[in-house]
Amino acid sequence: MIKFLALLMVLVFSLLHSGCTGSKTPQGLSGSADLVLLNGNLLTLDQSLPRAQALAAIGDRIVRVGTNQEIEPLIGEHTQVINLEGQLTVPGLIDGHGHYMGLGESLMGIDLKAPRTWSEIVSIVATEVSRVDPGEWIVGRGWHQDKWEWPPTPNVEGSPVHDELSRVSPDNPVMLIHASGHGVFVNAKALEQVGITAATPDPPGGEIVRDGSGRATGMLRETAQDAVRDALARYQASLPPAEQEARLRRQVELAAAEAIANGVTSFHDMGETFEIIDLLKKMADEKALPLRLYVAIEEPAEKLAEHLARYKMVGYGGGYLTVRTIGEKVLDGALGTHGGWLLEPYADLPRSTGFNVVPVADIRRSAELAIEHGFQMAIQGIGDRAARELLNIYEENFRRHPTSGDLRWRIEHCQVIHPDDLPRFARLGVIASVRGIFATSDGPWVVKRLGEKRARERGYRYQSLFESGAIVINGTDPPVEDIDPIANFYSSVSRKMINGEVFFPDQRMTRLQALKSYTSNAAFAAFEEQHKGSLTPGKLADITVFTRDIMTLPEEEIRTAEVSYTIIGGQLKYRRE
């Protein structure tokens, strides 16, 4: 109670006095901070005091920012004091787009990001087969055919054929999820369990890839993967309930540990079901959520209509759970799997303009529900056709409901945008939620997919979005990419691909833009600018500290920086060993 009163006084004083002195809170408070950081290189992103040396927090809030001399009087008997030793200290990083439970799940399944050939993946699965019981599902994640040193033989459109995989795993269904999440590769046992044969037609919005003789290769694109994912879900649902909940809780913990070790203090989770949100709420009540979550609901429109009103939560559980967004319904698929919905056909697959995954009518209905219940929309638009459809739907709704005010609707990914549509983001107040790192991981094959001219004019135009005045936020889309803000920051500012070439250098972000895309802009995109996004008295004490100064290091050294400390709500959650 005393602490609370002290905090209240500090906040009142800081409101009265802000701007009057060098430090951002008044004199007179002493020996009462819970946490003090000294000797830092604080980049506050607060215009009234952009640079500082030290900071104090009481409870979960920052109470003072200033010089060592200004902060030291707040050190008391029970204050935790951290000597930052001159390290760069910034507002807690917000990963603006990811899949929280998917991240947790990926840390449970087999990681297939590292293998550089298809044979390597097959032998990893073979080892797993020897560990599990017959009939048990084997799940892997993160493979990408364009990362392999050579294409598998045989292959169909670059993806393997399942025979080798089926040979090493005759009795266990295997599902290997593509790095984009927009396709899976399965073995014969899995195909058999879901009843896919040569005679099975492609489902709407997806494709069962076939070889020359019409036989399914094991590669299932977009909605064609649903049957297998459903079969896996049925298998998991057949496990005892306690085992299922324990598994989900483990996912929450694994995802949090991974995020926090990467300096991430808040996470925009782009799509969970009502059922998962129930579990997250329960964990928030138990104070068992280690990371702040901003969760979008991903459910079909008719289910939203039924339950949406009950699910709005803002700052629930001490600011650890907010639900006020409808997302990430995928209007289209990924470019990597030729799924992104384009205005014109793929350069390297001229028969296709990609897929419209969730019907436009469903998105339209969700948008009406969002207006009705005061929810934000955050829908994936990868291709230029998808972005246009979304901008049209958003614009229509804004026009029809001019009194709805500050809606901050978002488009996720924005990888291909037609030049006519780019200025519409700023004009309509639509937030561009981009993935800096996609530019460099996709870069090597984007020109192949789109052709040089279209790639240059429409592809990954992050700097143009900033210049247009749009709010741009960043994120890694874990588990699609590692939740590594330093790698993402480097990609955003360098656009340097693994082959050493720079992917359209005019679209590089400045370092300050990249930092804002992870802090103040991301806070704004979640209506949280009063609480997050700068090191300002009164805001949450969410803080990230780096071993090296990523704002001034030579570009090639940015990736040598590491996270030293992650602080959430004034609590030290991670310290680099």
Q: Which one, 382 or 465, has the nearer CB to Zn ion? A: 382
Span 211-230, contacts to Zn ion by CB under 5 A: none
Q: Which one, 421 or 477, has the nearer CB to Zn ion? A: 477
With a CB cutoff of 8 Å and minimum separation 6, the contacts of 38 are 53, 54, 68, 71, 72, 81, 82, 83, 84
* Residue in this structure with the two tokens 């802000």, named with its chain if needed: 18
Q: Which one, 216 or 379, has the nearer CB to Zn ion? A: 379
Q: Which one, 25 or 433, has the nearer CB to Zn ion? A: 433
Q: How far is the CB of 478 from Zn ion (least distance, A)?
A: 9
Q: Which residues share a beta bridge with 321?
A: 293, 316
Q: Which one, 101 or 270, has the nearer CB to Zn ion? A: 270
Q: How far is the CB of 322 from Zn ion (least distance, A)?
A: 18
Q: Which one, 34 or 477, has the nearer CB to Zn ion? A: 477
Residue 321's CB: how many other CB atoms inside 10 A? 22
Q: Which one, 477 or 542, has the nearer CB to Zn ion? A: 477
Please state whether beta strands 174-178 and 41-43 pair in parallel, antiparallel, or not at all (unpaired): unpaired
With a CB cutoff of 8 Å and minimum separation 6, the contacts of 212 are none
Q: Which one, 272 or 477, has the nearer CB to Zn ion? A: 477
Q: How far is the CB of 2 from Zn ion (least distance, A)?
A: 45
Specify burial of residue 82 (Cβ count, 10 A radius: 0-12, 13-18, 19+). buried
Q: Which one, 357 or 567, has the nearer CB to Zn ion? A: 357
Q: Which one, 270 or 509, has the nearer CB to Zn ion? A: 270
Cα separation, 566 vs 574, whole angstroms: 5
Q: How far is the CB of 272 from Zn ion (least distance, A)?
A: 12
DSSP assignment, residue 350? Answer: T
With a CB cutoff of 8 Å and minimum separation 6, the contacts of 358 are 329, 330, 331
Cα separation, 102 vs 85, whole angstroms: 36
Interacting span for Zn ion (CB under 5 A) from 148-156, 436-444, 474-482, 486-494 = 474-482
Q: How far is the CB of 417 from Zn ion (least distance, A)?
A: 17
DSSP assignment, residue 346? Answer: B
* Residue in this structure with the two tokens 């697959």, named with its chain if needed: 349
CB 390 within 8 A of CB 362: no
CB 524 within 8 A of CB 509: no
**CB-nearest residue to Zn ion:** 477
Q: How far is the CB of 517 from Zn ion (least distance, A)?
A: 16
Question: Mask of contacts with Zn ion, 268-287, x by CB under 5 A?
Answer: --x-----------------
Q: Which one, 207 or 477, has the nearer CB to Zn ion? A: 477
Q: How far is the CB of 480 from Zn ion (least distance, A)?
A: 6
Q: How far is the CB of 484 from Zn ion (least distance, A)?
A: 16
Interacting span for Zn ion (CB under 5 A) from 5-13, 184-192, 264-272, 517-525 = 264-272
Among 247, 291, 290, 251, CA closest to 268: 291
Residue 355's CB: how many other CB atoms inside 10 A? 25
Interacting span for Zn ion (CB under 5 A) from 125-133, 275-283, 386-394, 473-481 = 473-481
Q: How far is the CB of 547 from Zn ion (least distance, A)?
A: 29
Cα separation, 385 vs 46, whole angstroms: 38
CB 94 within 8 A of CB 517: no
Q: Which one, 70 or 477, has the nearer CB to Zn ion? A: 477
Interacting span for Zn ion (CB under 5 A) from 71-79, 275-283, 365-373, 475-483 = 475-483
Interacting span for Zn ion (CB under 5 A) from 162-170, 250-258, 266-274, 299-307 = 266-274
Q: How far is the CB of 304 from Zn ion (least distance, A)?
A: 19
Q: How far is the CB of 413 from Zn ion (least distance, A)?
A: 7
Cα 315 to Cα 116, 289, 325, 378: the distances in Å are 43, 13, 13, 19
Tell me how many residues contact Zn ion (CB under 5 A). Answer: 2
CB 516 within 8 A of CB 532: no
Three-state DSSP class for residue 152: coil
Q: Which one, 276 or 541, has the nearer CB to Zn ion? A: 276
Residue 294 sits at the vertex; the CA angle it makes with 293 and 295, to the nearest 5 degrees, is 100
Specify burial of residue 279 (Cβ count, 10 A radius: 0-12, 13-18, 19+). middle
Q: Does 477 bind Zn ion (CB under 5 A)?
A: yes
Interacting span for Zn ion (CB under 5 A) from 402-410, 448-456, 471-479, 541-549 = 471-479
Q: Which is it for the CA torsion 128, 334, 433, 301, positive or negative?
A: negative
Question: Mask of contacts with Zn ion, 426-465, x by CB under 5 A?
Answer: ----------------------------------------
Q: Which one, 59 or 381, has the nearer CB to Zn ion? A: 381
Q: How far is the CB of 180 from Zn ion (least distance, A)?
A: 9
Q: How far is the CB of 442 from Zn ion (least distance, A)?
A: 14
Interacting span for Zn ion (CB under 5 A) from 21-29, 155-163, 189-197, 470-478 = 470-478
Cis status of the peptide bond prior to 479, with omega within 30 of 0: yes
Q: Which one, 173 or 479, has the nearer CB to Zn ion? A: 479
Q: How far is the CB of 176 from Zn ion (least distance, A)?
A: 19
Interacting span for Zn ion (CB under 5 A) from 127-135, 170-178, 267-275, 403-411 = 267-275
The H or E element that residue 63 is part of is: strand 61-66
Q: Which residues share a beta bridge with 175?
A: 139, 186
Q: Which residues share a beta bridge with 379?
A: 411
**Rg (the chain; Cα; Å):** 24
Interacting span for Zn ion (CB under 5 A) from 25-33, 131-139, 144-152, 477-485 = 477-485
The H or E element that residue 565 is part of is: strand 563-568
Q: How far is the CB of 328 from Zn ion (least distance, A)?
A: 5
Residues contributing to the site for Zn ion (CB under 5 A): 270, 477
